[in-house]
Amino acid sequence: MQSAEAKFNKNSLLLALRRYSSAVSDMEHTILLPSLLRDVPSDEVWDCEAAEESCRDLHSNYLMLKAIRNTVESSLILLDDHKANNTALNKTLEPLLDTDPEALFRFHLRGLFSVMSDLTKKTQSLTVKYMDIIGVAN
């Protein structure tokens, strides 16, 4: 029987952050020639919907995933960026701001956990695509 603590640890945000960091480290160790990813189009929708047009290839995705990991590990966000994003976020989340603070915290925590899990999957997918490009069987 699984204890509640073991279940919590399996789904903890800290563990999700570690999984992502580990996946990016594996990606960096596997992808020895990132330039091979240049001009290889990404077949996933996630790559450029909210980002600039320059992330159309796998090389740009590789750089983006590394940059996100560096931000996650250093926890550095410019204060000006945070204020600008916070103002825009408050306008879209106004109905949620009147709710219980614990419910709001859980909402954001679940969202962050989901984002980190998706980034981990995308990092692993990019590593597999690189291995396919160079002809290495998994």
Largest Cα–Cα separation, the chain: 54
Residue 2, pLDDT > 60, answer no
- Say how far apart CA 24 and CA 123 lie, in whole Å: 6
Give the span between the Cα atoms of 3 and 6, in whole angstroms. 5
Q: Pick from 90, 87, 106: which is nearest to 98 by CA?
A: 90
* Single-letter amino acid code for the residue at 26: D
Flag whether the pTM goes above 0.85. no
Q: Which of 102-124 are b and which e, b meaning 16 or more Cβ less than 10 Å from the residue's Cβ?
A: eeeeeeeeeeebeebeebbebbb
For residue range 17-69, what is the model confidence (pLDDT) as tens digits?
Answer: 899 999 999 999 999 999 999 988 887 655 455 555 555 789 999 999 999 99
CA 80 to chain centre: 22
* 107 vs 96: CA distance, rounded Å: 9
80-117 pLDDT tens trace: 555 555 665 666 666 666 678 888 888 888 999 999 99
Question: With the C-alpha atoms ordered 99, 100, 101, 104, is the resulting torsion angle positive or negative?
Answer: negative
